[in-house]
Amino acid sequence: MEGFEIRLTSSKKGKGLFATQKFDQGDVILEEDPLVSCQFAWNAAYRYLACDYCMKPLETPEQNVRRLSCKPDIVLPHSDRFELNLESITSCDQCGALYCSEGCRQKAYVIYHRILCHNPSDAQHPIVVLMETWKQMHYPPETTSIMLLVRILAYIQQSSDPSAARAKVKQFCHRTENEDAELVHKLLGEQFTHQMNTLRELTSHVVSGDEVQEFLTPEGFCTLMALVGTNGQGIGTSPLAMWVNSVLEVTMSDDERQQLDLFIDKLYQYVEEESGSFLNTEGSGLFQLQSSCNHSCAPNAESTFPYGNHRVQLKALKPIMPGEEICISYLDECTLQRSRHSRQKELAQNYLFVCWCERCSSQASEPDCTSEEEMSDEDIDADD
């Protein structure tokens, strides 16, 4: 590791990522591939075509927007800006899972696909049954996927050194049983006890064996569910979003720019009408280094996916000095703009901690909103 280290923070936050050198705004702090990643269930059901291993899109921005909007005549200008090599697409001989390259097909097979390979049109297959059950419990917008959990189990089961694989997965677990249960409750809603048992049982039909047994007990399964719920980092690889980003760099007159902006707004509107609101999050993944980044409401870094696949890049948003903690925001852009009270409520509900970042501390004297929404430190146990 160069330029950063993972160590204990002085506060209750536990571990954190710290700079060991100076970073300027825009500098890349680190890049890494996830331990496992997975497309969301509904995202796949809407036939968003992505590599089953690295989530790279397997369709051009034009094909993507035509399909999502159900308008086969849309023509995207400047589409030459966007390079996508669709020639190396390959598939699993047995199940037809699509990959962007032979490399991805092989990696998937070696890491988890060998025991998960199945015929997707076999409605009785345990994976198909599990996915359908999950989809009924968890409607979009999706934040996590049962398939990510299944891939973690398969990764352990297929590993040549299962105890090392288990230890790797357990590095992500740092909560008590009660906290896990609370998080999973939030994730699945009121039906959670019943649903957890159903999901656990169906999952054990997909992956079982001594190596994963500890994650298939009620407590173990709950821990794993909380793990994917809180550590799963959203991955955005939409070809439409990448095209939108790439045309930002095209030189044009103000007039042309204005027209293009209107055209883009319209595209998103068409997509929304046909396929629901557009969130540039196609799946999620587990990242070892990136997941040790704590939250701040005034983050000095951000996670991006510049390669259009699941490889994450952590970039400095402002100058970072040696010794300074590197923080990202766990909140979406919109929530991040809101008051301290709203932000803290969201963080307490989804991540079970009280934020004491610089911005929150400096706003501590701000009045809280309504009294029934008020929360105290006694209600929420701070993360330790």
Query: Rounded CA gap, 341 and 362, in Å?
Result: 13
Both structure tokens of 252: 């044009």
Q: Which is nearer to Zn ion, 237 or 291 (CB)?
A: 237
Residue pair 354/384 in contact (Cβ under 8 Å)? The answer is no
Sequence-distant (≥ 6) Cβ neighbours of residue 190 within 8 angstroms: none
Q: Kindly indicate which of the ranges 55-63, 138-146, 206-214, 261-269 contains the residues binding Zn ion, using the contact rule CB under 5 A.
A: 55-63
Q: Does the protein bind Zn ion through residue 354 (CB under 5 A)?
A: no
Sequence-distant (≥ 6) Cβ neighbours of residue 110 within 8 angstroms: 158
The minimum distance between CB 125 and Zn ion, in angstroms, equals 12
Q: Which is nearer to Zn ion, 97 or 188 (CB)?
A: 97
Q: Does the protein bind Zn ion through residue 357 (CB under 5 A)?
A: yes
Both structure tokens of 211: 């190596």
The minimum distance between CB 117 and Zn ion, in angstroms, equals 3
Residue pair 347/295 in contact (Cβ under 8 Å)? The answer is yes
Query: Which one of residues 56, 151, 315, 345 is an interface residue with Zn ion (CB under 5 A)?
Result: 56
Both structure tokens of 327: 């923080």
- Taking the alpha carbons of 343, 38, 194, 135 in that order, is the dihedral positive or negative? positive
Q: Kindly indicate which of the ranges 134-142, 279-287, 329-337, 360-368 contains the residues binding Zn ion, using the contact rule CB under 5 A.
A: 360-368
* Ramachandran region, residue 30 (left: φ > 0; alpha: ψ -120 to 50; beta: rest): beta
Query: Which one of residues 30, 49, 51, 267 is an interface residue with Zn ion (CB under 5 A)?
Result: 51
Q: Does the protein bind Zn ion through residue 310 (CB under 5 A)?
A: no
Instruction: Return the C-alpha torsion angle 289, 294, 296, 298, nearest 10.
Output: -20
The minimum distance between CB 35 and Zn ion, in angstroms, equals 16
Q: Which residues are bridge partners to 4 per DSSP?
A: 19
Query: Which one of residues 27, 42, 79, 95 is an interface residue with Zn ion (CB under 5 A)?
Result: 95
Query: Rounded CA gap, 202 and 130, in Å?
Result: 6
Q: Does the protein bind Zn ion through residue 355 (CB under 5 A)?
A: yes
Q: Does the protein bind Zn ion through residue 54 (CB under 5 A)?
A: yes
Q: Which is nearer to Zn ion, 117 or 279 (CB)?
A: 117
Question: In sequence order, what DSSP letters do the residues of 291-342 get, joined into one string?
Answer: GGPEE-SS-SEEEE-TTSSS-EEEEESS-B-TTPEEEE--S-HHHHTS-HHH
Both structure tokens of 139: 């409607």
Q: Does the protein bind Zn ion through residue 50 (CB under 5 A)?
A: no
Q: Does the protein bind Zn ion through residue 13 (CB under 5 A)?
A: no
Q: Which is nearer to Zn ion, 101 or 275 (CB)?
A: 101
Q: Which is nearer to Zn ion, 315 or 341 (CB)?
A: 341
Query: Which one of residues 92, 98, 317, 375 is an interface residue with Zn ion (CB under 5 A)?
Result: 92
Total number of residues that touch Zn ion (CB under 5 A): 15
The minimum distance between CB 308 and Zn ion, in angstroms, equals 10
Q: Kindly indicate which of the ranges 70-78, 102-110, 232-240, 315-323 contains the residues binding Zn ion, using the contact rule CB under 5 A.
A: 102-110
Q: Which of residues 283-302 bind Zn ion (CB under 5 A)?
A: 297
Q: Does the protein bind Zn ion through residue 127 (CB under 5 A)?
A: no
Question: Counting Cβ atoms within 10 Å, is residue 131 exposed (0-12), middle (13-18) or buried (19+)?
Answer: buried
Q: Does the protein bind Zn ion through residue 100 (CB under 5 A)?
A: yes
Positions that interact with Zn ion (CB under 5 A): 51, 53-54, 56, 92, 94-95, 97, 100, 104, 117, 297, 355, 357, 360
